[in-house]
């Protein structure tokens, strides 16, 4: 059987290739009606103008032609270029035209879906805007992020009618996972959404200042309540943690030790205190954990 298969193998291959060629040429010479999707592009605009709105990004074109013509046309990367060099500020409806496609004369355009595109033209203006850095994740244990500074200034260009509503931009989220030392990172600036916006530069440098956790204990913090009562002891010892730069600036009066009394009847109680701290400072321990309170009738 093996010998029979390989007998006159060269002639068999030649016959197969000949059959394949006949099939191929018959296929590309046949007529077809196909739909191709074109991306809309506006390469020519009057100076200082921008497209702030367009009703569609694509147009589906129904075409008739031979296989060889569709083979040359391809399926991807098709672009319908519309010149707007004579257009004025405002909204305009532009009807699609077969002549604008620049296709071979052998390809016939049967129709467009949709038949037209609506565009809004606005003045192009620019301004410098601050950039905010959103954060996600958790710092390395025992470390604090105390500064996150954007080092580059960003110039935003866009439609005049929308620029007044934009006061700042965001970068992509900064991952804090596992960060344990000061460093610089480069982040992408995100577009505000909509059409016709241009950002320069597209990426900015961000400086991160990281400090190790420091633990301190502060004694003699007065215990306060919302009504006259007898408390023992009258002062608390509070242990807190945070970055050294924050702890150096903290004042004793910024630490609040408070015991709420609302709803309690006269009598003796053993109550924990609520601890209020400035932002960036973490609570570790209160001594004592509970206070003896006497409410008199």
pLDDT, one tens digit per residue, over 149-202 is 999 999 999 999 999 999 999 999 999 998 999 999 999 999 998 889 999 999
- Say how far apart CA 221 and CA 275 lie, in whole Å: 11
Q: What is the pLDDT of residue 68?
A: 77
Residue pLDDT, tens place only, 262-295: 888 899 999 999 999 999 899 999 999 999 999 8
Task: Note whether residue 3 is domain-resident.
Answer: no
Is residue 201 in a domain? yes
In a domain? residue 18? no
CA distance 65 to 273: 84
Question: Which domain range does residue 200 map to?
Answer: 130-212
Nearest by Cα to 72 from 26, 18, 28: 28
Instruction: Show Cβ contacts of residue 238 under 8 Å, excluding neighbours closer than 6 positions.
Output: 217, 218, 221, 255, 257, 275, 283, 285, 286, 287
Considering 123, 140, 170, which residue would you say is the last residue of a domain?
123
The pLDDT confidence band at residue 75, using thresholds 50, 70 and 90, is low
CATH number at residue 166: 2.170.120.40
The number of distinct structural domains making up the chain is 3
237 pLDDT exceeds 90? Answer: yes
* Cα–Cα distance measured from residue 255 to residue 224, given in angstroms and rounded to the nearest whole number: 11
Give the integer Cα–Cα distance in Å for 176 and 137: 5
Give domain status of residue 38, yes or no.
yes
If residue 24 lies in a helix (H) or strand (E), which one and from where to where?
helix 9-28
Question: Can you tell me the distance from the alpha carbon of 265 to that of 229, in angstroms, rounded to the nearest whole number?
Answer: 12
Residue 15 has pLDDT above 60, yes or no: no
Q: Is the pLDDT of residue 23 over 60?
A: no
Same domain, yes or no, for 290 and 228?
A: yes
Q: Are strands 143-150 and 267-271 parallel, antiparallel or unpaired?
A: unpaired
Domain shared by 119 and 42, yes or no: yes
**DSSP symbol at 262:** T
Residue 23 is assigned to a structural domain of this protein: no
277, 247 Cβ separation under 8 angstroms: no
**38 & 117 share domain:** yes
Domain limit, last residue, from 212, 242, 270? 212
In degrees, rounded to 5, the angle at the alpha carbon of residue 61 between the alpha carbons of residues 58 and 66 is 140
**Half-sphere exposure of 2 toward its Cβ, with a 13 Å CA cutoff?**
0
173 located within any domain:
yes
Q: Which of 182, 212, 242 is the C-terminal boundary of a domain?
A: 212
Whether residue 162 contacts residue 52, with contact meaning beta carbons closer than 8 Å, is answered with yes
Torsions phi, psi for 47 (to 5 deg)? -55, 135
Whether 33 and 119 map to the same domain: the answer is yes
On the question of pLDDT at 5 being above 50, the answer is no
HSE-CB of 70 using CA atoms within 13 angstroms? 21
Q: What mean pLDDT comes out for the span 205-219?
A: 95
Residue 90 lies in a domain: yes
Average pLDDT over residues 61-76: 78
CATH of the domain at 228: 2.170.120.30
In a domain, 99, yes or no: yes
Instruction: Check whether residue 164 and residue 204 sit in a common domain.
Output: yes
């Amino acid at each position: 059987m093996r010998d029979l298969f390989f007998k006159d193998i060269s002639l068999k291959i030649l016959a197969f290739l000949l059959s394949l060629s006949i099939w191929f040429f018959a296929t590309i010479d046949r007529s077809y009606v196909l739909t191709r999707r074109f991306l809309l592009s506006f390469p020519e605009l009057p100076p200082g103008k921008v497209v702030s709105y367009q009703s569609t990004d694509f147009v589906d074109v129904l075409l008739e032609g031979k296989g060889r013509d569709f083979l040359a046309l391809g399926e991807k990367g098709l672009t319908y270029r519309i010149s707007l060099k004579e257009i004025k500020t405002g909204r305009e409806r532009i009807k699609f035209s077969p002549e604008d496609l620049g296709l071979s004369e052998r390809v016939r355009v049967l129709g467009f879906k949709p038949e037209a595109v609506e565009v809004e033209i606005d003045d192009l203006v620019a301004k410098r805007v601050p950039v905010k850095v959103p954060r996600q994740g958790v710092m390395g244990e025992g470390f604090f992020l105390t500064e996150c500074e954007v080092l580059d200034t960003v110039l935003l260009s866009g439609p005049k009618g929308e620029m007044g509503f934009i006061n700042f931009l965001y970068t992509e989220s900064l991952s804090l996972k596992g960060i344990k030392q000061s460093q610089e990172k480069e982040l992408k600036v995100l577009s505000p959404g909509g059409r016709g916006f241009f950002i320069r530069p597209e990426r900015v440098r961000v400086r991160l200042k990281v400090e190790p956790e420091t633990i301190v204990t502060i004694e003699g913090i007065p215990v306060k309540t919302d009504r006259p009562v007898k408390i023992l002891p009258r002062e608390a010892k509070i242990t807190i943690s945070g970055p050294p730069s924050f702890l150096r600036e903290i004042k004793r009066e910024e630490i609040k030790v408070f015991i709420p009394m609302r709803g309690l009847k006269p009598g003796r109680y053993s109550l924990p205190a609520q601890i209020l701290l400035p932002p960036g400072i973490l609570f570790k321990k209160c001594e004592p954990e509970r206070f003896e309170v006497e409410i008199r009738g």
